[in-house]
């Protein structure tokens, strides 16, 4: 591989960091992984350590070095304000030694992983939630801190389920099997212990409760079903409101759905969001992204280097993505 040149795509979220190395023809050669990080809460040093860990693993597997890399295109959680993009870019340059670095919010690379359209929106529901409106000839609008706490991903949905379990014990909520499932998850005997653990910060991340919510909903638990439907309806509003506010014609828009919660075995969240989007915009095209967001980061780098959009249906891309296990949906 002497004298070959490569690009790197990077996706850093709250749960994991993924890097891919691609040749200039769009064939992904390798992937590297590390834990997730958010620079605004974990610190910039922590985020860069996780990024360089994933990048280093990907480069090693591709038998490449940083000097062989033409550019690095990254999608970073927490890139919400203009100054943060430059801070993250400078930090990545310093950490990797790669001079040509671009930084996007991580939901923008998720959008590119699902479509080549210059007009549309993306809704990502994973550990948290983010959404963006993409407009031709204008910078994308990323919701970021406009996302309400009760709508923000698996962490929020888990909190809602925890509260429902506690409320059901005192008559503030209907009886729900969520109580039994959540107590079992934490190995607790009663809701007093659950409440105490919650108040004392001993329960850890509530995103781990999400599979239990879908399990209860599939079994017909009315409270679990309602939580998911209301959650999905609220999340869809970020897209419908954004398209209206920015005057994006629905007939031209493609809406990309991405994030781990849309991969749940139960289709309830997916169908809820789809139905709500179609209720407002019957003609809009909804796409469940086939590729993981990190593929979108590599595609954005290829787009920039080639001066035109790299085709999503390219055989080298599709084959290599499948080989690396970067397919979101079968």
Q: Summarize pLDDT for 188-225 with one digit per residue, the tens.
A: 999 999 999 999 999 999 999 999 999 999 999 999 99
pLDDT score of 79 more than 70 = yes
For the cut 80, the answer to whether the pLDDT of residue 181 exceeds it is yes
Which has the closest alpha carbon to 233: 270, 206, 267? Answer: 270
Q: List, in order of start, the domains of the chain with CATH numbers.
A: 6-115+291-323 (3.30.420.40)
Angle, to 10 degrees, between the axis of helix 210-218 and the axis of helix 178-186?
150
Q: What is the pLDDT of residue 1?
A: 42
pLDDT band at 330 (very low <50, low <70, confident <90, very high): low
> What are the backbone angles phi and psi of residue 143, rounded to the nearest 5°?
-65, -45
**pLDDT exceeds 90 at position 49:** yes
Q: Pick left, alpha or beta for residue 98 (phi over 0 → left; psi -120 to 50 → alpha; otherwise beta).
A: beta
Query: Which residues touch 4 (CB under 8 Å, ≥6 apart)?
Result: 23, 64, 68
CA distances for 248 relative to 6, 131, 242, 245, 281, angstroms: 36, 15, 8, 8, 11
326 DSSP assignment: -
Could you tell me what percent of the chain has a pLDDT over 70? 98
Handedness of CA 291, 296, 301, 306 (dihedral sign): positive
The terminus-to-terminus CA distance of the chain in angstroms comes to: 32
- Apex CA 121: angle with CA 119 and CA 127, to 5°? 150
Q: What is the mean pLDDT of residues 250-271?
A: 94
Structure confidence at residue 78 as a pLDDT band (50, 70, 90)? confident
pLDDT at 2 > cutoff 50: no
Alpha helices in the chain (DSSP H): 39-42, 44-61, 82-96, 106-114, 153-169, 178-186, 191-199, 210-218, 222-245, 268-280, 293-306, 315-323
pLDDT, tens digit (0-9, with 9 covering 90-100), for 142-151: 999 999 999 9
- Edge-to-edge strand list for the sheet holding 69-76: 28-35, 16-22, 6-12, 69-76, 101-105
26 pLDDT higher than 80: yes
User: Mean pLDDT over all residues of the chain?
Assistant: 95
Is residue 132 classed as helix, strand or coil in its secondary structure? strand
Q: How far apart are CA 251 and CA 235, in angstroms?
A: 21
């Amino acid at each position: 591989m002497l004298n070959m040149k490569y690009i790197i795509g990077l996706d850093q979220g709250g749960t994991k960091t993924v890097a891919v190395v691609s040749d200039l023809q769009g064939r992904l050669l390798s992937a590297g992984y590390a834990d997730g990080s958010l620079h605004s809460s974990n610190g910039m040093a922590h985020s860069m350590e996780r990024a360089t860990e994933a990048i280093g693993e990907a480069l090693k597997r591709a038998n490449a070095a940083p000097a062989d890399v033409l550019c690095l295109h990254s999608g970073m959680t927490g890139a919400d304000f203009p100054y943060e993009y430059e801070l993250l870019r400078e930090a990545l340059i310093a950490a990797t030694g790669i001079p040509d670095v671009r930084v996007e919010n991580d939901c923008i690379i998720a959008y590119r992983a699902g479509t080549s359209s210059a007009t549309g929106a993306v809704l990502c529901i994973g550990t948290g939630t983010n959404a963006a409106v993409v407009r031709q000839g204008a910078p994308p609008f990323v919701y970021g801190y406009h996302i309400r706490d009760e709508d923000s991903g698996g962490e929020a949905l888990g909190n809602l389920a925890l509260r429902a379990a506690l409320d059901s014990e005192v008559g503030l909520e209907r009886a729900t099997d969520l109580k039994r499932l959540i107590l079992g998850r934490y190995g607790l005997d009663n809701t007093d212990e659950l409440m105490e653990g919650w108040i004392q910060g001993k329960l850890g991340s509530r995103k781990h409760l999400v599979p239990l919510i879908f399990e209860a909903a599939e079994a017909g638990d009315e409270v679990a079903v309602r939580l998911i439907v209301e959650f999905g309806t609220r999340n869809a509003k970020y897209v419908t409101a954004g398209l209206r506010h920015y005057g994006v014609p629905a007939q031209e828009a493609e809406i990309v759905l991405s994030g781990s919660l849309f991969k749940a075995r139960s289709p309830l969240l997916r169908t809820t969001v789809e139905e709500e989007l179609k209720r407002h915009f019957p003609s809009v095209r909804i796409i469940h992204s086939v590729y993981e967001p990190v593929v979108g980061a590599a595609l954005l780098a290829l787009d920039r280097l080639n001066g035109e959009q790299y085709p999503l249906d390219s055989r080298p891309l599709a084959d290599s993505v499948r080989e690396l296990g970067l397919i979101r949906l079968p």
